[in-house]
Amino acid sequence: MNEAVNIRVTVNGEVRSHSVAPRETLADFLRNALELTGTHTGCEMGACGACLVLLDGQIVHSCLIFAVQADGAVVETIEGLAQRKAIAELQEAFHQRNALQCGFCTPGVLMTAYGVLARPGVPSRNEIRDALSGNYCRCTGYEAIVDAIETAARRRAEAAAEPEPETAP
C-alpha cells in the first residue's frame, strides 16, 4: 500500500511523470513535487476551498483527491490559468476592487469565479454568493469579491454582445 506509484499527469499544459505515494494528496503533490505553491491547503477536508484546482475541467478540492487519481488526467492550477490569461478579466476586477487582502484564499476564490464566468449570462449577486459559499475568506467579508466577480461577468457579457469587428476581405 505504501509502494510508490508512477503517474503521468498533464499539469498546466505540461506532461509530468512522477512517482508518488498512494496516500499523497493532489494538493501536496502539486505543492511539493511540482512546486506549484499557488494551490493552498487551509483545512485538508474540503471545507475551505483554498486548494481548488481544475481536474479534467471540473473544479475539485485537490486536498480530497489523491495524486494517483489524477493519473492520465489534465490538471490546471492558478498558475496555469494565470499564464494562459484565462482569468485576466477576473484578476483585473479583483485588483481594481481590492477583492483580496492576505491573498491566501485568493487562488481558490479565483477558481470558483472562473467556474461562475464559464456559465452563460450575468449571475445575480445572490447567485455569486451562493457559488462562493464553498470558499472561506476571513479577510474581506466577501463584499468586494462579489463586486469583482459581478464586474468581470458583466464585462464578459458586454464583450460577447458586441458585434464582431469587421474583418478585411
Q: Between 71 and 134, whose beta carbon lies closer to other proteins? A: 134
Q: Between 3 and 164, whose beta carbon lies closer to other proteins? A: 3
- In the block, residue with C-alpha cell 486536498: 63
Tell me if 130 contacts other proteins by CB under 8 A.
yes
Nearest-approach distance from CB 156 to other proteins, in angstroms: 17
Contacts of residues 155-163 at CB distance under 8 Å and 24 or more positions apart, as own/partner, are 155/89, 155/93, 156/89, 156/117, 157/121, 157/122
- What are 33's three cell numbers? 513535487
Tell me if 123 contacts other proteins by CB under 8 A.
no
State the distance between the two ends of the chain, measured CA to CA, in whole angstroms: 64
* Residues within the interface to other proteins (CB under 8 A): 21, 23-24, 28, 31-32, 35-40, 42-45, 47-48, 50, 77-79, 82, 91, 94-98, 100-107, 110, 125-126, 128-130, 132-146
